[in-house]
Chain A
Amino acid sequence: MENFEFQRATTLDEARSAIGSADAGKFLAGGQSLIPLLKLGMASPDRLVCVKALAELRGLERDGDDVVVGAAMTHAAVAESDVVRQAIPGLADLASRIGDPQVRNRGTLGGAIAHADPAADYPAALVALGATVRTDRREIAAEDFFQGMFQTPLEGDELIQTVRFPVPERAAYAKFPNPASRYAIVGVMVSQSDGAVRVAVTGAGPGVFRVPQMEDALSSDFHAGALDGVDVDPGALTSDLDASAEYRAHLVKVMAKRAVEACA
């Protein structure tokens, strides 16, 4: 891996100026997405600014009707948080199935969503729960945040601070993991709030997406059987070594049903 300068930021200002003065700086939180990329030579920053310890990026709390999770909180912290487990157990469950235990001990919410891997788990949660990403300069709705494969609207020096998850009436995640990488071949998060249902799918396409037909069907009848008549078009789905688009389309339906059942 090419060399770079490592700088640990202790304040937000320090982090901003460290990134601002680098030619091609990158923020580093848990490094579980970034370090593998560096090893593959797919990123070659001249400076990494470690933001893991910044107070603004930490914390995990209930705030009215929302749960607010700091960007530097690890997947393990989210999975084990009493706040999350009580308010949005489906989110804790999702976090408990990211990667493996060691990845969960280091990897962070902010790092995962900034990377925007199309097979990552968190995007399904953010979109299904209607979360809002708060950066050091703005708020971005989850659906605007994930713009396709590894694409987000983040500017190079923009830092995710928190993610605000509205607490749903119920929500659950069903995952069909890639047998090798443990990313999602298909992951479906279903949530219901005030009668409105959201179904968000990760892994199946070039980015997270919602399935309006499923949402309509579930809005009128929140049972797995309501999805029997809904078929997913494989046309826009990913076809690769791991699964064909047809199989992914089939799995979206199966996983959606299982997520609905898990909501009960």
Chain B
Amino acid sequence: MTTVSLTVNGDPVTADVEGRTLLVELVRETLDLTGTHVGCDTSQCGACVVEVDGVSVKACTMLAAEADGTEVTTVEGLSANGELHPLQAAFREHHGLQCGFCTPGMIMSGLDLIRRNPDPDEHEVREWLEGNLCRCTGYHNIVTAIQSAAAELGG
């Protein structure tokens, strides 16, 4: 076992993990933050995307031990004081979700895009979502939601 200390959604967390424990397992099972999902076993679907030290990563393809000393943000950490983050609000406003399963990963991925590219065009959003699969929406409203949130956030 390895002891890891990290910050998750602003709160300090210390946990004993096995070498093989994945970050997503730490988040879902130890910390009970079940908003981060697992949809595949080949690092493709992106349902598990979280932010580590300010960039989006697939929590199913990172060891919990690697997250020692990092700041992790999950979808649960986005809204503050009961107010939705503009990206969360945009997904709701533009119907960017149906079953909701891919949504946390989509939102966390979109957040990274907007930080790097405050005014992404349609093509840039679609290319950026290469690592996020959605089976419900056909992506149409997800792209719209991300572009709209980017505009709202001042892009």
A–B direct touch in complex (beta carbons closer than 8 A)? yes
Which chain B residues numbered 45 to 65 have a C-beta less than 8 Å away from chain A?
A: 46, 49, 55-58, 61-63, 65
Contacts of A39 in B (CB 8 A): 41-42
Number of A residues with CB within 8 Å of any CB on chain B: 28
Query: Does A102 lie within 8 Å of B109, measured CB to CB?
Result: yes
For residue B68, CB closer than 8 A to chain A, the reply is yes
Contacts of A105 in B (CB 8 A): 55-57, 112
- Taking a contact as CB atoms closer than 8 A, the residue among A6, A47, A100 that contacts B63 in the complex is A6
Query: Does B58 lie within 8 Å of A103, measured CB to CB?
Result: yes
Q: How far is the CA of A52 from the CA of B112 in the complex (A)?
A: 21
| CB-CB under 8 A for A101 and B19, given A106-B57, A106-B61 | no
Q: Is the interface of A mostly helix, strand, loop or mixed?
A: mixed
For residue A156, CB closer than 8 A to chain B, the reply is no
For residue B130, CB closer than 8 A to chain A, the reply is yes
Q: How far is the CA of A52 from the CA of B57 in the complex (A)?
A: 15
Query: Does B57 lie within 8 Å of A102, measured CB to CB?
Result: yes
Q: How far is the CA of A105 from the CA of B113 in the complex (A)?
A: 12
Query: Does B130 lie within 8 Å of A50, measured CB to CB?
Result: no
For residue B140, CB closer than 8 A to chain A, the reply is no
Q: How far is the CB of A162 from chain B (nearest CB, A)?
A: 22
Q: How far is the CA of A42 from the CA of B14 in the complex (A)?
A: 31
For residue A99, CB closer than 8 A to chain B, the reply is yes
Q: How far is the CB of B90 from chain A (nearest CB, A)?
A: 19
- Taking a contact as CB atoms closer than 8 A, the residue among B20, B42, B49, B128 that contacts A38 in the complex is B20
For residue A3, CB closer than 8 A to chain B, the reply is yes
Query: Does A3 lie within 8 Å of B58, measured CB to CB?
Result: no
Query: Does B61 lie within 8 Å of A101, measured CB to CB?
Result: no
Query: Does A101 lie within 8 Å of B20, measured CB to CB?
Result: no
B100-121: CB near A (< 8 Å → 1, else 0) gives 0000000001001100000000
Contacts of B56 in A (CB 8 A): 101-102, 105
For residue B131, CB closer than 8 A to chain A, the reply is yes
Determine the residue in chain A with the shortest Cβ distance to B59.
A102
Closest 9 CB pairs of A and B: A100-B131, A6-B19, A100-B130, A6-B65, A105-B55, A4-B19, A102-B58, A3-B20, A102-B131
